[in-house]
Structure 1
């Protein structure tokens, strides 16, 4: 796979564009009256398309091309904004206020800048490669390490067994769950889904995590940074000390699952 899109602007320069796109998604959702399924593909709703159209227009105006869950990858050689206009669509469709807009700029195979907007709380996470991670303008500090036995772990899909952690949460929005690991509300995140996640689900949260001192890897050892629309990955996130135990648990629980991505 050939990467394209040099990062001529400094990564921090992208934040204005990403914030404008997130604001556009907020406005589109506030004015949207179609919260039902589109009927075009499973799990897609009218509000997904409204937020996608608004955010994509802002990203294009900012000189980026877009890889979106809803509309695919645009051709060209500009840096790519990897967009999930509504991460947690099922939550949103059912009135559960835990969903987000997630955007991450990738150029030369490197995540450069990211914004994740929590539509339920109004909180906004930002990260710049080498420049730290922030929640509503406050830098996220390196967080307390916990043992596996005391950890609260967010999972996507069904964990095929007992992991040995203290408690588990299944919240339904990977970008926000990763940001929760970054800011210490959660201790780890594991994708146990059979199909895996698209890069739009996790890249925004990945950069927030890494800039906050949290490790994020693929459970199968693959590169998580991809702009292939069909690619699926199994992100696993935890603080450095906890990651080995989390990965060992992931391998133990999934080693007999032949249907995993």
Structure 2
């Protein structure tokens, strides 16, 4: 009987999430009067502005993932190895982006790094792109740090470090050739979440005036009817694709992990 009610609760939850998505999908296929078609998707995919903004966001996502890895992996490793008492403080700091609105972060950037400040980063496209990448890194920090920290919990960091040092390895070699391969799946999980965040983020890109995918979604939604629905479906597909890749990579790793005798 309990299993029956569990399935009822699951079905209601699935309908709550799937029905709006199915309605959006159906509406996106009705651009041609009287029949279903992919005209809205063709219009979106052939739009040069879509290609430019989506390409920009993909590049920013890749740079954000790389910067996040360089920042989080050594930090989480060093905290777990040498400064375990600082873990509560580090965890608290990495949770701050969840409670501080992105608009506060971006206004702080504009206030500190405007053209009249000591570091006028907003005065050039490169500087503004760097600020945007730092902002994306901040938003993804809770997910990236926890993914890496969870990966580090599954290995004996101290023993691996001592073994590598006994063979003459330096800190860079230990991180690159010992720690990183062992937490690669955790890093990939954080990377996929980061990619999804960057693709859909609006506030930072809009207020920093960068040609990102999030502001393009808002612009299309304010001026057209069927194309926004197609973009919403594409965005959902990207997000769910990232989540599916996380599950696929995790399951593949579990199945190929050697058994401990």
Alignment TM-score > 0.5, same fold: no
Rg larger in structure: 2
Question: Please, what TM-score do these two structures have when normalized by structure 1?
Answer: 0.26
Greater length-normalized contact order (CA 8 Å, ≥ 6 residues apart)? 2
The structure whose residues are more often strand, as a share, is: 1
Question: Please, what TM-score do these two structures have when normalized by structure 2?
Answer: 0.26
